[in-house]
Amino acid sequence: MAFPKTRLRRLRAGGTMRRMVRETRLSVDDLIAPLFIRPGQGARQPIASMPGQFQMSVDRATEACRELADLGVPAVLLFGIPERKDATGSEAFREQGVVQQAVRAIKTACPALLVITDVCLCEYTDHGHCGLIVERGGVRDVDNDSTLDVLARAAVSHARAGADIVAPSDMMDGRVRAIREALDAEGFAHTPILAYAAKFASAYYGPFRDAAESPPKFGDRKTYQMDAANAVEALREVALDIEEGADIVMVKPAVNYLDVLWRVKERFGLPTAAYHVSGEYAMIKAAAANAWLDERACVLETTLAIRRAGADMIVTYFAKDLAGWLDE
């Protein structure tokens, strides 16, 4: 009787056997937890489209950071919801801005926790775009070069507050160089840049824009964020950011762009991050709330898939849950 000579099932025979031959491992060390900082005191406002996530005032965010640090999560990524928004996003670089205050408080409470700050203008501008607006022949556009100065000022203000890493997410051309030069000039040559290098114009950012109160008031982000169809162009974006001084590169969103992530890690070999974004979080949460999916099993599988595709670190709203699960 014929039988298969190769029996791959031998090494799947039990939990211990599978554990031994596992190629990819998930660790709490890989996780970065995003946090939304709002003004005030004692505030912890639920975000409707992101169940389990909150806009928090500095004091509550600091508490959340203590818990994350106790769970072994190495890093947080801060977003700010400022008191006032204006045309030029001037709250983005104010010394007493929400993010700057949060950085100082968190670094004091949890010195070993890495504080990464998102550098962008969309949370700070009244029009909700990631850069400054100009009008050319009656058409409004996001101006590339004048935006660079504001981004650089924001990055320097974060570094001055004590940020360990700055993370530009705006997708203007040349922002990594502008930020690198400004940091170096101000005495922050040691501060690394995590560049949102291949950031696609994605419908999966929807819940984030509720959370950060930052949807664009006109038009969309497609003139600066990447077209979902383009993987080769993503490699150009990453190559440029590295040339300009990026220390870590990021692909975003994660799950629909695992091919891009794989190519980026293969091609450049730099420390590579992936952002499991708000819409990816919301989908799992919604299905789990209906008992259509097993939340924990899906989150572990999805996060592992992002690792397998090449991510060294993963920005995920599930960071705290994962830290608990991985510890069991």
Helix 144-161 vs helix 98-109: angle between axes, to the nearest 10 degrees?
Answer: 30
Q: DSSP letter at 200?
A: B
The residue count for binding ligand PBG (CB under 6 A) is 12
Binding status of residue 282 toward ligand PBG by CB under 6 A: no
Closest CA to 48 of 207, 276, 213, 215: 207
Task: Give the range of 8-16, 65-73, 104-112, 203-211 binding ligand PBG by CB under 6 A.
Answer: 203-211
Q: DSSP letter at 255?
A: G
Closest CA to 118 of 238, 217, 37, 207: 37
Q: How many whole angstroms separate alpha carbon 191 and alpha carbon 181?
A: 11
Which is the catalytic residue, given 107, 252, 265, 285?
252
Residue 199 known to be catalytic? yes
Binding status of residue 257 toward ligand PBG by CB under 6 A: no
**127 binding partner (options ligand PBG, Zn ion, none; Cβ < 5 to 8 Å by kind):** none
Is-contact 216 122, C-beta < 8 A?
yes
Element (H, E) at 260: helix 258-268
Closest distance to ligand PBG from the beta carbon of 183 (Å)? 19
Q: DSSP letter at 226?
A: B
* Site track 96-115 with ligand PBG (rule: CB under 6 A), x = hit: --------------------
Which is the catalytic residue, given 199, 217, 222, 265?
199
Please state whether 89 falls in left (phi above 0), alpha (psi between -120 and 50) or beta.
Answer: left
* Site track 107-126 with Zn ion (rule: CB under 5 A), x = hit: -------------x-x----
Binding status of residue 55 toward ligand PBG by CB under 6 A: no
Is-contact 211 190, C-beta < 8 A?
no
**205 binding partner (options Zn ion, ligand PBG, none; Cβ < 5 to 8 Å by kind):** ligand PBG
- Phi, psi of 195, deg, nearest 5: -95, 130
Task: Give the range of 82-90, 128-136, 182-190, 254-262 binding Zn ion by CB under 5 A.
Answer: 128-136
Closest distance to ligand PBG from the beta carbon of 199 (Å)? 7
Task: Give the range of 44-52, 127-135, 152-160, 173-181 binding Zn ion by CB under 5 A.
Answer: 127-135
Binders of Zn ion among 42-81, rule CB under 5 A? none
Q: How many whole angstroms separate alpha carbon 99 and alpha carbon 183?
A: 18
Active site residues: 199, 252
Residues near ligand PBG (CB under 6 A) are: 118, 120, 122, 130, 169-170, 205, 208-209, 221, 277-278
